[in-house]
Amino acid sequence: MTGAPVSSPPTRVRPSPVGFWEAFRFWLKLGFISFGGPAGQIAIMHTELVERRRWISERRFLHALNYCMLLPGPEAQQLATYIGWLMHRTGGGIVAGALFVLPSLFILIGLSWVYVAFGHLPLVAGLFYGIKPAVTALVIHAAHRIGSRALKNPWLWAIAGGAFVAIFVLDAPFPLIVLVAGGLGALGARLAPHVFAMGGGHGGAQASYGPALIDDDTPTPPHAVFRRGHLAAVLATGAGLWLGAMAMLTATQGVSGALTQMGWFFTKAALLTFGGAYAVLPYVYQGAVEHHQWLSGPQMIDGLALGETTPGPLIMVVAFVGFVGGWLKQLFGPDALFLAGATAAGVVTFFTFLPSFVFILAGGPLIESTHGKLAFTAPLTAITAAVVGVILNLALFFAYHVLWPRGFQGPFDGASAAIALGAAVALFRFKVGVMPLLAACAVIGLGVSGLPALLQ
């Protein structure tokens, strides 16, 4: 097979079949090491599954990734679910997807408890003083990264600009922006197909690492072949789980109860996460901060900082939102605050990720048949362009709360501005990783804000 040269000759012996529990151990390990956002997580899976273990070939890996790119939800978690499903049927997909999320959930519950219980202490406050400006720089960097890939012509720039005006000036709801952008893409596929023919975002297979268990010519496993009966069964199961959970929350909390409202709200959020977690954060902010008031704007920034420092999908910031909301609302009384927070975090995680499992287990074979068709991909291209404008609005929101913590009538925080500028230079110029950047900014923030308070 021709392709780009690799560092060593590929092994010509096909790997031995992988048992369910061997795969279980790998997915568990992945759940604890999946740092770096979706790009880093996908790179880890490529290194482990394509290059090192050869459980799946390069082309089949990219094929699965392209499917996941077309779906709402965290693409890296869906990719793990897809490969687990391809290897070990429904059980393998559920295990791979769940273990991608659960370590992050437990870690975030612990960190959220430290935050709400001890966040007023000078040490913790000082660390977050430095992390908040770094998060602002990270959001700006995300807007640039997505924009440089998505905005390939003036028409897509116009969609991004229109989305920014809609949410910043008109305060339009995020679902409406997604709907309008998708409609423009569908219309554009007919009237100006060259505008939306963006091509694959991840390229093609470039290297052979030797025969793989699921190779280029490996037939689709029988369980992955599209069947109407299987599609109906999985959709019915997913709908039953959702309805059962909502019925239980409604019976115990009432329709207007905080947990019931969280379940409904994060179900909608899960269906709108085109373009990654940064794209849906403005919607989460609108609902969780402005409408339901489960937490404040500055707390939302702190939650994003915690989400950046833990393994798993960045959208796991919703677990922090749930924990803080459950704690502050005292769902089970003032003597059970941790239980309230942990329960709320579990509830929002369940409703956020249930659609992702349904999309893969039910729709994987069906989506495969639509891959590469412009009528299907053009709306996603337009939505991705709109997402750039939405993320820019989020960056301005974060910058306002960081640089003017008391509002425009209060003083400008020059130290935070300096940290944010330094973080931006580190990201754009020196390509510093997220974890080292946040660690360095936390130490600087402690020195600027927390250490003087500790010495008093």
Q: Is position 59 within any domain?
A: no
CB 175 within 8 A of CB 279: no
CB 30 within 8 A of CB 48: yes
What pLDDT sits at residue 62? Answer: 72
| CA distances, 363 to each of 67, 141, 243, 350, 418 (Å) | 10, 33, 20, 19, 47
Helix then strand count (H, E) for the chain reads 18, 0
Tell me the backbone φ, ψ of residue 87, rounded to 5 degrees: -85, -40
Q: Is position 14 within any domain?
A: no
CB 84 within 8 A of CB 31: no
Q: Whole-angstrom Cα distance, residue 385 to residue 275?
A: 9
What pLDDT sits at residue 134? Answer: 86
What pLDDT sits at residue 201? Answer: 39
Q: Whole-angstrom Cα distance, residue 272 to residue 268?
A: 7
Q: Whole-angstrom Cα distance, residue 64 to residue 214?
A: 12
What pLDDT sits at residue 372? Answer: 54
Q: Whole-angstrom Cα distance, residue 201 to residue 32?
A: 27
Per-residue tokens: 450: 């927390």
User: How many Cβ atoms sit within 10 Å of the Cβ of residue 251?
Assistant: 9
Q: Is position 7 within any domain?
A: no
pTM of the shown model = 0.72
Q: Is position 180 within any domain?
A: yes
Per-residue b/e over 369-388, b at no fewer than 16 CB within 10 Å? eeeeebebbbbbbbbbbbbb
CB 202 within 8 A of CB 66: yes
User: How many Cβ atoms sit within 10 Å of the Cβ of residue 121?
Assistant: 14
Residue indicated by tokens 């977050």: 128
Per-residue tokens: 345: 């975090």
User: How many Cβ atoms sit within 10 Å of the Cβ of residue 267?
Assistant: 18
CB 91 within 8 A of CB 85: no
Q: Whole-angstrom Cα distance, residue 136 to residue 308?
A: 12
Q: Is position 71 within any domain?
A: no
Full domain range(s) for residue 252: 101-198+227-455
Cα angle 422, 423, 426 (rounded to 5 degrees) comes to: 90
Please give the DSSP secondary-structure letter assigned to residue 336.
-
What pLDDT sits at residue 419? Answer: 94
Q: Is position 89 within any domain?
A: no
Q: Whole-angstrom Cα distance, residue 360 to residue 102?
A: 18
What single-letter amino acid sits at 429?
R
Q: Is position 155 within any domain?
A: yes
Q: Whole-angstrom Cα distance, residue 50 to residue 58?
A: 6
What pLDDT sits at residue 1? Answer: 39
Q: Is position 385 within any domain?
A: yes
Cα angle 281, 253, 285 (rounded to 5 degrees) comes to: 10
Q: Whole-angstrom Cα distance, residue 64 to residue 56?
A: 10
> Would you write out the chain's pLDDT as a tens digit for each of its 456 residues?
344 444 445 556 788 889 999 999 999 988 887 765 666 677 778 888 988 898 998 777 877 776 776 677 888 899 999 999 999 999 999 999 999 999 999 999 998 999 898 876 677 778 878 888 887 888 788 788 778 877 889 999 999 999 999 989 988 877 788 889 989 999 998 998 888 875 433 444 445 678 888 887 787 788 878 889 989 999 999 999 999 999 999 999 999 999 999 999 999 988 876 656 666 777 888 889 988 999 988 888 888 878 877 888 888 889 999 999 999 999 999 999 999 999 999 999 999 999 999 999 997 777 655 545 677 778 878 887 887 888 788 788 778 888 998 888 889 999 999 999 999 999 899 988 777 888 899 899 888 875 555 555
Please give the DSSP secondary-structure letter assigned to residue 223.
G
Q: Please spell the DSSP secondary structure of 66-100, one letter per residue.
A: HHHHTSSS-HHHHHHHHHHHHHHHHHHHHHHHHHH
Helices assigned H by DSSP within 197-336? 228-253, 258-270, 277-284, 297-308, 317-328
Q: Give residue 383's Cα distance to chain centre.
A: 16
CB 70 within 8 A of CB 349: no
Rg (CA), the chain: 22
Number of domains in the chain: 1
